Amino acid sequence: MEVRKIQLSDAEELLHFFQELVKKDRERVERPQDARHTTLKKERQWIQERIHKANKREMFAFIGRVDKKVVAEGEIERTPRWIEKHIAEIRMGILPDCESITPLLIERLLATAKKNKIEILVYFHLKTQRKGIKAMKKAGFSDAGRIKRYYKRGKKYIDRLYLTKDLKH
């Protein structure tokens, strides 16, 4: 198992990972048709944007690999306004059945946040995304709130849950 910073040379593997993730993980907000519209050129641009933001210490993106295959992607991104620069959103996607890499990915994201003087991390997702929510709670994130009926799939509404972690305490 390996977790490392994202590189431009990861574009093809990341594109394949994203397409597989959306197909296998029904709790994603992205849809299969969204993944089909993502090209290798768009993936490279996506990576370049993250590398550019990392150079400015605004965002940090990592991939997780098992047996030389990308099975996870995770990132933290600072909120843009000067008054909120101490806060960042944490996001990740992990292929189902590859969750064993989750603690390592979260550990790397938390260490990077602390190193870059991020004080509070915010994680949010559909309330039905039980694996992600459970992993974040295991990493010390606490419930911060809920917005009822935030997402709508067909005629069904799904709440959005917010979790936070204070890295200073």
Q: What is the CATH number of the domain that holds 71?
A: 3.40.630.30
Number of folded domains that form the chain: 1
pLDDT band at 143 (very low <50, low <70, confident <90, very high): very high
Q: Structure tokens of 141?
A: 């994130």
Residue 26 has a pLDDT of 78
pTM of the predicted protein model: 0.92
Q: Is residue 101 part of a domain?
A: yes
Once rounded to an integer, what is the mean pLDDT over residues 116-143?
A: 95
Q: Which residue has the tokens 């768009």?
A: 42
Angle of helix 11-24 relative to helix 40-55, nearest 10 degrees, comes to 110
Question: What's the CA gap between 144 and 55, in Å, rounded?
Answer: 30
Residue 29 has a pLDDT of 77
Q: Please report which residue ranges of 97-152 form alpha helices under DSSP H.
A: 102-115, 130-138
Range of the domain at 85: 2-123
Q: Is residue 30 part of a domain?
A: yes
pLDDT tens column, 27-83: 777 778 888 888 999 999 999 999 999 999 999 999 999 998 999 999 999 999 999
- Strand-pairing partners, residue 156, are 153
Once rounded to an integer, what is the mean pLDDT over residues 6-10?
A: 96
Q: Is residue 131 part of a domain?
A: no
* Residue of 112, 106, 109 whose CA lies nearest to 136: 106
Radius of gyration of the chain, Cα coordinates, nearest whole angstrom:
16
Q: Is residue 157 part of a domain?
A: no
Q: Residue 42: what residue type? A: K
Q: Is residue 60 part of a domain?
A: yes
- Is residue 87 within 8 A of residue 168, CB to CB? The reply is no
CA contacts within 13 A on the Cβ side of 73: 19
Q: Is residue 100 part of a domain?
A: yes
Residue 78 has a pLDDT of 97
Q: Is residue 104 part of a domain?
A: yes
Task: State the average pLDDT for the chain.
Answer: 94
Q: Which long-range contacts (CB under 8 A, 24 or more apart) does 79-87 make?
A: 86/117, 86/118, 86/119, 86/120, 87/118, 87/119, 87/120, 87/121, 87/122
Q: Is residue 135 part of a domain?
A: no
Q: How far is CA 54 from CA 14, 16, 82, 158, in A?
A: 18, 23, 17, 33
Residue 36 has a pLDDT of 82
